[in-house]
Amino acid sequence: MNSTGFKTPLGYAILEGDENGLSRVYVAEDKPKFSETVPEPLQQAKIQLKEYFLGKRETFNLKINPEGTDFQKKVWELLLKIPFGKTSSYLELSKEFGNTKAIRAVAAANGRNPLWIIVPCHRVIGSDGSLTGYAGGLWRKKWLLEHEQPQKQQSLF
């Protein structure tokens, strides 16, 4: 497994993967050591994430290879459908999954998402609009959601 990373406004983004694709993206407070050799999937992920933080990218076109159960992977596929600048709730995801009784399992799978930002688990909020738990810290979730809000035009009058 290879890794690379870079500094972001939220800490160091760490990317892990190999020729089969990006398997993990997470944030760390301190700069870790990285591999000397960076395979193409990680190079592309690094470029695209930098563009995201610069406000120049809203979607990702990457080869991903996250590890998880079939159930988790299905939930992560649903997360990928939440558009940039939009949010969903755990209840809405459960409905889309086809089983509202699975709301806690859907929430747990959301929390185990290994691809920070790429699979946008930060776009899931409580049904009442509240920011709910986030592995990277609620302040990061708030930052990401604000970063994805369309710029509001300032009135001239």
Alpha carbons 15 and 116: distance in angstroms, whole number = 9
- Closest by CA to 113, choosing from 66, 48, 151, is 66
- The residues with which 157 forms a beta bridge, in sequence order, are none
Cβ-proximal residues to 67 (8 Å cutoff; 6+ apart), any chain? 23, 114
- Closest by CA to 75, choosing from 54, 58, 92, is 92
Whether residue 87 lies in the annotated active site = no
The residue annotated as part of the active site, out of 62, 121, 124, 144, is 121
Q: Which residues are catalytic?
A: 121
